[in-house]
Amino acid sequence: MSPPTGPDDGETFGQRMTASVLRRAVMASLMRCFRAGRPVAQQRRWLTILSNVSRLPHGASMVAANVGGVPGEWVEARSGDAARRVVLYLHGGAYCVGSPATHRALTGRLAPRCAARVFAADYRLAPEHPFPAAVDDAVAAYSGLLAAGYEPAGIFLVGDSAGGGLCLAAALRLREMGLPQPGAMALFSPWTDLSLQQLGPEPPGEVMITRAWTSECAGFYLAGRDAREPLASPVFADLRGLPRVLIQAGTDEVLLPDSERMHARLLASGVPSTLHVFPRRWHVFQLQAGLLRDADRALDEVAAFIRA
């Protein structure tokens, strides 16, 4: 098998230095936070502090909203020239932490690139709200977009990590309910197997999450349910009939096997799927868009995929 590559495997010296600085910053700010045994409330407080120093990118605006009974926020380009196209964004955080505020660096750059409004859903989190609360909220938000008059082909599910797995679970639940599928899904390092059966130790380049932390969060979310339930771990589902999918991941992350297995399962199920693995990149490196060229290129690829 040839080495995995993303759209651009070339790096200038400046980009290597930038990537090195960002890698250390992510490790210092997040890996120390995402630790097994650390109270979830403490992790959330730390993320709130980080989100308070983060700002929406220039050219994007945000307003709090409620769609389908699910709180969240609309993010869109200030130019107001978005087409009748909407992205339902489902944030990562292992189903236990994270919020629309923690992902504004991403949603604020997706909106203008995709010429779309982005609704970042503030879905319920474990352990207070275990599985399938997050799935129910994702489906409710999607149903709310349909009720608002958006055409299914103009709705796109995008999510990172747990949010990526949640996009797949929502699509599966929509199929069960007989509701129309979204136009497509773009997934950043999706977490698709909560059993963690195929994961090895963290690769040397992992700077954000550990297997121990993901295992603990999986336990909080599942609350005794079987990890192999399809809506919890979509890699075990019958995937036929899902819309086209773009998956992006990095070589330096513990969840890379989830992206590779899901891509293979989608193709085997007849679902059009594209997988791009970026060398030397960490878990959800797209959050560093505006600073890291690979992150910008990744979001440009998502925009082209959505606007196709």
The pLDDT tens digits of the residues spanning 238-248 come to 999 999 999 99
Residue 200 lies in a domain: yes
Residue 290 lies in a domain: yes
**Percent of the chain clearing pLDDT 70 (strictly above):** 94
Mean pLDDT computed over 224-233: 98
Residue 74 lies in a domain: yes
Beta bridge partners of 66: 71
Confidence category of residue 81, pLDDT binned at 50, 70, 90: low
Burial class (CB in 10 A: 0-12, 13-18, 19+), 188: buried
Sheet holding 155-160, edge to edge: 60-67, 70-77, 117-121, 86-90, 155-160, 184-188, 245-250, 273-278
Mean pLDDT computed over 221-238: 98
The pLDDT tens digits of the residues spanning 23-69 come to 999 888 888 889 999 999 999 999 999 888 777 888 889 999 999 99
Whole-number pLDDT of residue 91: 98
Whole-number pLDDT of residue 185: 98
pLDDT top residue among 10 and 61: 61
Whole-number pLDDT of residue 82: 57
Integer angstrom CA distances of residue 25 from 31, 100, 185, 306: 10, 21, 29, 31
Integer angstrom CA distances of residue 259 from 60, 72, 215, 266, 298: 30, 27, 17, 11, 15
Look up residue 214 and give its two tokens: 């993901």
Residue 27 lies in a domain: no
* Residue closest to 98 by CA, chosen among 47, 135, 49: 47
The one-letter amino acid at 271: V
Residue 277 lies in a domain: yes
Q: Is residue 157's pLDDT more than 50?
A: yes
Residue 22 lies in a domain: no
The pLDDT tens digits of the residues spanning 162-194 come to 999 999 999 999 999 999 999 999 999 999 999
Q: Is residue 104's pLDDT more than 80?
A: yes
Q: Is residue 150's pLDDT more than 90?
A: yes
Contact 181, 152 (CB under 8 A): yes
Assign residue 126 the CATH number of its domain.
3.40.50.1820
Mean pLDDT computed over 75-102: 88
Rounded Cα distance, 211 and 231, in Å: 21
**pTM passes above 0.75:** yes
Mean pLDDT computed over 130-153: 98
What is the domain extent for residue 187? 35-307
Residue 48 lies in a domain: yes
Count of domains forming the chain? 1
Please list the active-site residues.
161, 253, 283
Q: Is residue 3's pLDDT more than 90?
A: no
